[in-house]
Structure 1
Amino acid sequence: MSKSSILTTPTHLNAAAVLQRNSTVHLLYCSPLSTDSFKSRESATGHPFVEHLSVNQRAWNSLADSGSLFARTATDEECRTPLKSLDGRGWLPDSVAGLRVLCLAAGGGWQSILYAAAGAIVTVVDLSDSMLELDLRESRRRGYHVQTIRTSMEDLSMLGDESFDIVHQPVSTCYVPDVQPVYREIARILRDQGLYISQHKQPVSLQVSHRNERQQFVIGLEYYHQGPLPAMTDKSYREEGTTEYLHRLEDLVGGLCTCGFVIEDLREPRRADYTVDVAHFGYRGRFIPPYLRIKARRQTRSTEEHSAAVTPAGLWLPR
């Protein structure tokens, strides 16, 4: 990527204002993602420092560079019917044209491209440079305008309050130690009655430690496990090289409710396949549910909440 397409800006700056002043900017760097910057940023916001940010950034750069399935870009056929490709459940409105959409932790040139094909005003946030490069490459190739921001999902401070109509987040909260900062940021940047669609790894899926000699899946991790998940020899359970965390249902579902959302629907996508070999994820899906899919709506802010909105001195937090 050329230096001309990169903007470095303090995290307290409003990215929308910067991007309006310079419409040629494609990639907004919120801060250099070195270990030292992670330490200082998390210390300032009160989050305990762990190396998950730098570790996961390297891992996802590697996955993207190696052509992982997770870095599959949108096809021409998918772009012809983008909403159908994005939303087989009917959770999205009939049209997203002109709506402001944040694809959160969703780099890779798939989700952002489909929303752009449907006429949305698209911003994509991701921790990985290589994943964002795919969004940039595909948007340029297809003639779409997609803004990309490299930052962690816990820190969206460069985005303004109530600046999005839809936030769409694929499976990714397993890569952060605490989902509450993520939910609070999404609650802040979504407008009243805005839509939040997210997917999360099921707790039991992350509790699996290994298979026994009978090809049975062993729940070897405690449900109330704290901290990063232990390393595994079987790489088929997790994305290679990443640091992951187990979040309980009270965190994933209850946490949404305490951050100002109403849950409108919840699905457990069926991934069982009775025709595949035992090494295939479809076999595992017969016994272990892989993830949750949640449709949530941002509640209308009260007068008190509006009066406590973000100021230069602090950040409004949902009650």
Structure 2
Amino acid sequence: MSISLKYIMMGYREIENKISKSWDEMASAYDKFKSDTFSYSEMIEKPVVMRLLGDISGKAALDLGCGGGDYTVELARRGAKVVGVDISKVSLGIAHKKASMEGQDLELIMGSISDLGFLKGDRFDVVFSSTSMHYVADIENAFRQVRRLLKDGGMFVLSVVHPFYTAQYPLIDYAGADKYAVFQLRYFNHAIREYIPPWSKYIEEGDGRCISYHYTVDDYFNALKDAGFDIDRMVEPRPLPEWKEKYPRRYYEMYNYPLYLIFKCKK
């Protein structure tokens, strides 16, 4: 039996449990990685996300796949009443610590994006998710649930790891010697991926390997449309021109290599 067939037979619940375990092991390392001065998220993703979200003061917001709570706390800073959901208990602990340090009152729930039945519908003005959907087996189902949770006229801002990037994650059943050394582009191949993330250098225990899915641009776009969303904007964040002189290395990395794809949608 090949590894890929083994994972197909296991079912998405068991794969999700493995992903949850991996994130419990990686949570502290990822938080340290994201706190770097030149964090891709801070420099590239966050400015676009905040512009698309606009004024959220007084609004009920849901952060799906909230991880260590960077965005969850930021939404609270901007005046939103925030609920954060994540499958990693360790990540939620980090988020709770950050919220406590800032005196922010957040509701943090351990749960799966794949099954949001524990949340009541028509509850939120805003749903946000950052770089979590490639861990979800059925994104259209997830988007339908997000739409159920939104009030009429509510907004969904979705940031995903750019499909050009996830297309280079190694296939889980690829056994070549260069499995982790060389990322080969396999854009239309939807096989399960297994990769060693860049924050693995900070991991104290565990092998640092992570399992995920891969979706194309039209997978995301069509799943959002089929779930009933109106797509208002689709953005591929680029580095600011002034970074060419100020941060030349980061500028060329970000300019030549798309890292994020961000959608703004309405119910």
Normalised to the residue count of structure 1, the TM-score between the two structures is 0.63
- Asked if 2 retains the 8 angstrom alpha-carbon contact of 1:52 and 1:176, the reply is no
Is the aligned partner of 1:57 residue 2:20?
Answer: yes
Q: Write the distance in 2 (CA, Å) between the matches of 1:171 and 1:257.
A: 19
Q: Which residue of 2 aligns with 1:183?
A: 143
The reply to whether residue 198 of structure 1 matches residue 150 of structure 2 is no
- Alignment correspondent of 2:217: 249
Question: 2:53 maps to which residue?
Answer: 92
CA distance in 1, matches of 2:58, 2:118: 21
Aligned pairs for 1:20-31 within 5 A: none
Aligned 8 A contact 1:63 1:71 in 2: no
| Matched-pair contact (CA < 8 Å) for 1:265–1:294 | yes
Q: Which runs of 5+ in 1 are unaligned?
A: 1-46, 74-84, 211-216, 299-319
Structure with more relative contact order (C-alpha pairs < 8 Å, separation 6 or more): 2
The Cα of 1:114 is off from its aligned counterpart by 1.6
Tell me the CA shift for residue 220 of structure 1: 2.9
Q: Distance in 1 between matches of 2:88 and 2:185?
A: 29
Which digits, 9 at most, give the CA deviation of each residue in 1:137-165, with x for residues without a partner? 22223222100111111111011111100
Confirm or deny that 1:266 pairs with 2:226. no
Match of 1:24 in 2: none
Q: Which residue of 2 aligns with 1:228?
A: 192
Contact 1:86 1:111 in 2 (8 A): no
Task: Give CA deviations for 1:26-65 in whole Å, capped at 9, x if unaligned.
Answer: xxxxxxxxxxxxxxxxxxxxx9435331222122222223
The 1-side partners of 2:66 and 2:81 are apart by 15
- Equivalent of residue 261 in structure 2, options 292, 312, 315: 292
- 1:90–1:209 distance in 2 versus 1, CA, 3 Å: closer
Q: In structure 2, the residue corresponding to 1:157 is in which secondary structure?
A: coil
In the other structure, the counterpart of 1:141 is: 101
What's 2:204 paired with? none
- CA deviation vs aligned residue, 1:146-202 (integer Å, no higher than 9, x gap): 001111111110111111000011111111222112101101101111010111122
1:115 aligns with 2:83: no
Shift of 1:121: 1.1
Higher helix share: 2
Per the TM alignment, residue 229 of structure 1 is displaced from its structure 2 partner at its CA by 1.3
1:127 aligns with 2:91: no
Separation in 1, partners of 2:112, 2:103: 27
Counterparts of 2:62 and 2:107, CA distance in 1:
10
User: How many percent of aligned residue pairs carry the same amino acid?
Assistant: 25
Cα deviation digits, residues 48-103 of structure 1 (max 9, x gap): 43533122212222222336345649xxxxxxxxxxx7666632243x23211001
CA distance in 1, matches of 2:52, 2:89: 30
In structure 2, stretches of 5+ residues that fail to align are 1-9, 37-45, 171-180, 202-207
Return the index of the structure with the highest Cα Rg. Answer: 1
The 3-state SS of whatever aligns with 2:156 is: strand
Stretch of structure 1 that moved more, 51-60 or 126-135: 51-60
| TM-score of the pair, normalised by structure 2 | 0.74
